[in-house]
Amino acid sequence: MRMSFDEYFLRMALLASERATCQRLKVGAVIVKNKNVLATGYNGSASGEVHCIDEGCLMRDGHCIRTIHAEQNAILQCAKHGVNVNGASIYVTHFPCLHCTKSLVTVGIREIVYLNDYRNDEYALYLIERSGIKLRKVTI
């Protein structure tokens, strides 16, 4: 039986998460528009910086400040290459954090499809609902 597009793109997100360089949580993201992949992202360091897997996490207030989140990384790849994400969907291995949610709302993502709950923030849920973004948790 042929896999659905949801499963296909979520498996891509899982594959992208294998590239993550922060050991605290490996997250992958895929931005899709009209069933075409626009960009992928995973959590890791800024270009040219050392990685958590090499030197450990750089912690401040309980968070690794070295890491760029997967959703942000995918958005930044689109920005770097001039790709418009307005109206696109994002497939993510984990529920987006509040900061990533704010970014997704701001760039015009219309749908968030995710696999795993992870510290689902109430304000993030409010922003998603208020913005009219379709939110779906899917199992594969």
- Residue listed under structure tokens 């749908």: 111
Number of domains in the chain: 1
The arithmetic mean of pLDDT across residues 72-93, rounded, is 98
Which one from 18, 71, 111, 129 is the annotated catalytic residue? 71
Domain that holds residue 30: 5-137
Output the domain CATH number for residue 96: 3.40.140.10
**Binding-site positions for Zn(2+):** 69, 97, 100
Asked about 18 being catalytic, the answer comes back as no
Question: At 56, is the pLDDT very low, low, confident or very high (cuts 50, 70, 90)?
Answer: very high
Which pTM does this prediction carry? 0.96
**Binding-site positions:** 69, 97, 100
